[in-house]
Amino acid sequence: MRTLKSPINRPHGRGACLNTDQRFSALQVSYDPGEEPAKVATKFFHDHSSSIISRNDSPDLGFGASLNPYRGCEHGCAYCYARPSHEWLGWSAGVDFETRIMVKTEAPALLRAEFSRDKYLPECLAISGITDCYQPVEKRLEITRGCLAVLAECRHPVGMITKNHLITRDLDHLGELARYQAAAVYISITSLDADLARKLEPRASSLKMRLEAVRDMAGQGIPVGVNVAPVIPGLNDSEIPAIINAARDAGAQFAGYTVMRLPFSVKEVFALWLEEHFPGMKDKVLNRIEETQGRTLSHPEFGKRLKGVGVWSDQIAQIFQVSLKRAGMLHRRPKLTTAHFRRPREIGGQMELW
């Protein structure tokens, strides 16, 4: 890994300290004059995608279909594995990922059109498979809320994951879906240390607010759990039992976890983050991540990159399983069903007129 130097004026409130070199150099995009590097304003761009559901056959993922209203994420998590996806747009996985956000304003209409197709077969849809669907701009744009309205209307099953308390705004739609066994939510919690969480995830909701979101959803009968992710060996792995207990006390019913991996340019962003915030622990943490990823920073094989390999990964798995058992929680969310799905044109008992 090459040695990185932090910019003289570190971008305020950002997880990344720089823009990394990207793999597709022919698509490089520059900042406007005067923007780089100290004060980088967030800009939003329309994503005019003609479809909204993405499909995958990865054995690492627990879903085959997903929906992402945004590309890029202003939460600014230093460890985010989705950062390299921004390079396909000509931007960097560093500060660009947090400040150049593509928004799919037509997502609810595209989703409705997809559900209306005779050939569409319902399956559990994951929202936030890549970037957080409740990042700050969602409060104003309400794209995720619009998609949930369509899902609730059609009783289509959905699984969600977020680290933003804003999800509680949509308790009405989630509650309606839960009535038909068609909703489950994970709240992501990385650390109970407020200072560490703020540095890792600078624009995400505080721990207190995330646990409040768990409590609110549990109170409305919405299946809710926590995702302890990522587990960073040498930094937050010792917190697993306390996070599980705090989640249980808030009403969480299930929990999952993933270990840290640093694909492509994420390793540069995170290495510099460690250099900025925990310089004395940098080598220890990176070495342990390498040990859990098979002497690399992101294991190339399916089935190994999310849970890791070796002694440290085995220890993390054992701590998690014991903590879960003691808390009386499940390792998996409840199974969702497509049995109640109905197409938009069937709602109200009559066909739509064209």
Distance CA 59, CA 123 (A): 17
Band the pLDDT of 23: cuts 50, 70, 90.
low
Which of the residue ranges 1-10, 132-141, 147-156 would you say has the lowest mean pLDDT? 1-10
Is residue 353 pLDDT above 50, yes or no? no
pLDDT at position 127: 96
Task: Evaluate whether 67 touches 125 at the Cβ level (below 8 Å).
Answer: yes
pLDDT at position 62: 78
Return the SS3 of 94.
coil
What strands lie across the sheet with 254-259, from one edge to the other? 53-55, 65-67, 125-127, 158-162, 183-188, 224-231, 254-259
pLDDT at position 53: 96
Return the SS3 of 330.
strand
70 - beta bridge partners?
A: 103
Distance CA 337, CA 151 (A): 13
pLDDT at position 25: 55
> CA gyration radius for the chain?
20
Is residue 55 pLDDT above 70, yes or no? yes
Give the helix/strand (H/E) hosting 44.
Answer: strand 43-46
**pLDDT tens, position by position, 242-257:** 999 999 999 999 999 9
Q: Which residues contact 136 (CB under 8 A, 6 or more apart)?
A: 74, 75, 164, 203
The CATH number of the structural domain formed by 25-337 is 3.20.20.70
pLDDT at position 229: 95
Is residue 267 pLDDT above 90, yes or no? yes
Is residue 6 pLDDT above 50, yes or no? no
Distance CA 255, CA 248 (A): 9
pLDDT at position 60: 75
pLDDT at position 40: 79
Domain ranges of the chain: 25-337
pLDDT at position 12: 63
Q: To the nearest 10°, report the CA torsion of 340, 132, 72, 228.
A: -130
Query: Structure pTM?
Result: 0.89
Distance CA 335, CA 260 (A): 27
Over residues 139-167, the mean pLDDT reads 98
**pLDDT tens, position by position, 287-329:** 999 999 999 999 999 889 899 999 999 999 999 999 999 999 9
Closest-CA residue to 240 (of 227, 253, 252) = 227
